[in-house]
Copies of this chain bind each other. A is one copy, B any other.
Amino acid sequence: MRVFIAGVDGYLGWSLALYLAARGHEISGCDLFLRREWVAEMGSQSVTPIRRMTERLETFRDHFGTNLQFRKGDLRDYNFVLNCFRSFDPEAIVHLGEMPSAPYSMVDVNHAVFTQMNNLIGTLHILYAMKEACPDAHLVKLGTMGEYGTPNIDIPEGFFTIEYRERKDTLPFPRQAGSWYHQTKVHDSHNIMFACKIWGLRSTDIMQGVVFGTRIDEMKDDERLVTRFDFDQCFGTAVNRYCAQAVIGHPLTPFGRGGQKRGFLPLRDSVQCLTLTITNPPKPGEYRVFNQFEEIYSITELAQKVKKVGEELGLKVNIRNLENPRKEMEEHYYNPDHQHLPDLGYKPTHDMEQELRIMLNDLMKYRSRIEVRKEALNPDIRWDGTRKKVRFLSRGAEEQGSKGAEEQGSKGAEEQG
């Protein structure tokens, strides 16, 4: 199939391009390289030394014997998007080209507005360009499980049938997102559902869990094919950050009480699921929602897994809970459905510890690249709009004795960096 990937320079985008190319699909993609700039703005860098796009493209051709048709450009430029679709005539468009960080969106008013504008305009442009250039194409849109928040009932896949005052209807499941970034995904979902309804476009909206991992098999031990791996407070997600912390001897730092439950999946499952979605498109006019994750863990359970595997590899790993810079529930019910993808043939990677072993081994090679930017590990972007380094909590961290809160607090604040 002809697959267009918006955001092909990113963590998922680059991995997906390799995975699809290895299976004979024809790939085109675009990127503006903003992710590289945002991570630099956070004082950080990818742990893996990713190459410039020209070198990535050469290596891609060497390995797969075909070109990845790349265009540098901005999704906020409508004619750019339209030209991409007109010249490539995609059968599927995978939209990974958004600003993907909750903390980045919470920095200040400018970051909030930038995030909402960037993400909404890009998606609106893609919808209009599809309508104009390739109305039969399938839009695979990356949303997030975070759109749902943490309601006290089961979370279905996008829609649910309910009875209310003795009448019945099937309705979109209510969204309660927890950052300006997560809100953009909610807004996008509403916009896409509407476009499918009025124009007969087809789309799968992926409510994805938290992805972790350093590689997929299609990277073939060629360092030039490796995907990026972020560990800073904005672009590093929970498991990836824990692993980066473990390899430099920094405590693993769950936020708050650490009872926050989320759905997780390894990078190799994410590209597997996206590929299943692409090769099994919905009907014209259909808007469907997939909850895409493998298993649910609390962030404390995750930290414990990283600690266990790290110690097996000879690392000394502590867990110390941090004051929570976010506003979120730290203990809650969480039971989202995730049956649509298994129904299409998704075979989950069940051994998380094996994946963590691969990750830690990969990261140990680049320990110095984390060391040199380790300040970026320390969160200071708070949901209350202030910017102030968060402190270690005095209780709840398994490895800690019972030092006084103040002592640990002030010590923690300095010590982390």
A positions within 8 Å CB-CB of B: 78, 108-110, 112-113, 116-117, 120-121, 124-125, 128, 131, 151-154, 160, 162, 164-165, 167-169, 171-180, 183, 186-187, 190-191, 193-194, 197-199, 327, 333, 383-385
Q: How many angstroms from the CA of A131 to the CA of B383 in the assembled complex?
A: 12
Q: Which residues from chain B contact A171 at a C-beta distance below 8 Å?
A: 151, 153, 174, 176
CB < 8 Å neighbour of A190 from B113, B162, B177, B197: B177
Copies of this protein chain in the complex: 2
Q: Which residues of B contact A153 (CB under 8 A)?
A: 162, 164-165, 167-169, 171
**Cα(A193)–Cα(B125), bound, Å:** 27
Kindly state the separation between the CA atoms of A36 and B57 in the bound complex, as whole angstroms: 51
Closest Cβ of chain B to A192, distance in Å, is 10
Q: How far is the CA of A152 from the CA of B116 in the complex (A)?
A: 31
Could you pull out 6 A-B pairs where Cβ atoms are within 8 angstroms? A109-B125, A153-B169, A171-B176, A173-B174, A177-B190, A178-B194
Please determine whether B128 and A121 come into contact, CB atoms closer than 8 angstroms. no
Contact B109 A120 (CB under 8 A): no
Structural contact, A183 and B172, CB atoms closer than 8 A: no
The 4 closest A-B pairs by CB, nearest first: A152-B169, A109-B128, A171-B174, A187-B187
B186–A167 touching, CB < 8 Å:
no
CA distance A70 to B213 in the complex (A): 56
A115 to chain B, nearest CB (A): 10
Least distance between A329 CB and chain B CB atoms (Å): 11
Evaluate contact between B187 and A333: CB separation under 8 angstroms: no
Identify the closest chain B residue to A117 (Cβ).
B117
How long is the Cα–Cα vector from A171 to B162 in the complex, in angstroms? 13
Q: Are B384 and A199 in contact (CB under 8 A)?
A: yes
Known: A109-B78, A164-B153, A172-B176. A327 touches B197 (CB 8 A): yes
